[in-house]
């Protein structure tokens, strides 16, 4: 996996699929993670949560090293409402999301928010919690499959926006809309972008950059890099 030159005014997105994770791969990846991350992963009941926990840190390391050309990732700190950032670093902004088989990170020189979710019929149950009245009216008569997909897409768009702002769920998502050309007039200066990932997932990102570069990182990229460093 070749590193790219440091670029500004472009939002970078890396996405990693963990579906093919096995115990040998996991143990190798975990051995490369920080002590804090290993301890956090060990506390999960479901092994898939541990996979995502470890992979999120290692994928962030890839993003940081590529963008800054520095090998040591600063300590992760958290803002008032839980948004992560790196200590003593103002030129590298990032945001992480994971769901099911995907771990995704958006990063660049400006603040950003990202979310990934698998399309689910359960979104219809919580729709009144995150849709405006106008949005709800527009989708209530759609057939189930289309409605589930659109609701999931809208959820990821709204999540990406509140994560961009750094307010998380402290911002009522039904208080703002993202339909009708994403209602940019209500959110000046930000750009939304949505992609469909394999496995019926939606990825949405909110940033200040119009240009986006997406790159898939594979498990074998991570393990290969580790083994290369160790001279194996």
In 3D space, the residue among 193, 226, 219 whose CA is nearest the CA of residue 207 turns out to be 193
In Å, how far are 45, 125, 160, 191, 225 from 97, measured between CA atoms? 19, 22, 9, 18, 23
131 and 223 share a domain?
A: no
153 and 70 share a domain?
A: no
Query: Which CATH number is 147's domain given?
Result: 3.90.470.20
How many distinct structural domains can be found in the chain? 2
124 and 162 share a domain?
A: yes
Report the first-to-last Cα separation within the chain, whole angstroms: 17
Paired residues of 201 in beta bridges: 118, 197
106 and 215 share a domain?
A: yes
1 and 105 share a domain?
A: yes
Question: Would you write out the chain's pLDDT as a tens digit for each of its 232 residues?
Answer: 343 445 567 899 999 999 999 999 999 999 999 999 999 999 999 999 999 999 999 999 999 999 998 878 899 999 988 899 999 888 899 999 999 999 999 999 999 999 999 999 999 999 999 999 889 888 888 888 889 999 999 999 999 999 999 987 778 888 888 876 444 434 668 899 999 999 999 999 999 998 999 999 999 999 999 999 888 5
- The answer to whether 179 touches 98, Cβ cutoff 8 Å, is no
For the beta carbon of residue 90, count every other beta carbon within 10 angstroms: 8
Give me the domain span that covers residue 165.
113-207
191 and 148 share a domain?
A: yes
- The answer to whether 221 touches 205, Cβ cutoff 8 Å, is no
- Give the C-alpha separation, 184 to 188, whole Å: 6
């Amino acid at each position: 996996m070749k590193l790219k030159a440091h670029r500004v005014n472009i939002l970078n997105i890396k996405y990693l699929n963990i579906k093919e994770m096995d115990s040998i791969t996991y143990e190798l990846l975990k051995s490369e993670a920080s002590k804090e991350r290993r301890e956090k992963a060990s506390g999960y009941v479901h092994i898939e949560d541990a996979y995502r926990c470890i992979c999120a840190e290692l994928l962030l390391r890839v993003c940081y090293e590529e963008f800054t050309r520095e090998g040591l990732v600063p300590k992760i700190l958290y803002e008032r409402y839980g948004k992560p950032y790196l200590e003593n670093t103002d030129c590298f902004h990032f945001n992480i999301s994971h769901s099911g088989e995907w771990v995704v990170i958006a990063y660049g020189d400006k603040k950003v928010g990202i979310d990934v979710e698998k399309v689910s019929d359960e979104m219809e149950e919580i729709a009144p919690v995150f849709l405006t009245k106008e949005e709800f009216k527009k989708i209530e008569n759609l057939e189930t499959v289309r409605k589930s997909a659109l609701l999931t897409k809208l959820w990821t768009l709204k999540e990406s926006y509140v994560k961009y702002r750094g307010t998380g769920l402290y911002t009522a998502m039904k208080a703002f809309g993202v339909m009708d050309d994403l209602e940019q007039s209500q959110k000046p200066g930000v750009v939304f972008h949505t992609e469909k990932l394999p496995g019926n997932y939606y990825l949405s990102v909110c940033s200040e950059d119009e240009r986006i570069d997406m790159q898939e990182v594979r498990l074998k990229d991570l393990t290969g890099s580790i083994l290369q460093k160790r001279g194996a």
